[in-house]
Amino acid sequence: QVQLVESGGGLVQAGGSLRLSCAASGRAFSAYVMGWFRQAPGKEREFVAAINWSFGNTHCADAVKGRFTISRDNAKNTVYLEMNSLKPEDTAVYCCAASVTSARWTIGASYDYWGQGTQVTVSS
């Protein structure tokens, strides 16, 4: 089993920045893609960003493009989400996920492992 643990969430003022981390642990961890999703109460889960674990190519949702940056540290089995110019509408629970297959990066059902989520609240 693979465990993903997010950290770095919190309260930040609009326009501010926050960095989320997702550490993967477990036996024989291997992932093709790792991504970030978010979900606000009453809304569906939304794709945020994803990164190819081995090669580092990325894809970001249009809503966060230019503001968020996804990166990874293979040696630490950790993926990061740097969030800048935060807006109140970015408020959500952010979850990281890992896919061990060549999946559709933007589709949550394509991912095999999920973290518990970390709350991000952006005040206006």
Q: What is the pLDDT along the chain (124 residues), one digit of tens a residue?
A: 789 999 999 999 999 999 999 999 986 567 789 999 999 999 999 999 999 988 899 999 999 999 999 999 988 989 999 999 999 999 999 999 999 886 789 999 999 999 999 999 999 9
Amino acid 39: pLDDT: 98
In 3D space, the residue among 119, 87, 91 whose CA is nearest the CA of residue 15 turns out to be 87
- For residue 107 the two structure tokens come to 């589709």
Residue 85: phi and psi, rounded to 5, are 50, 50
Amino acid 28: pLDDT: 58
Amino acid 119: pLDDT: 98
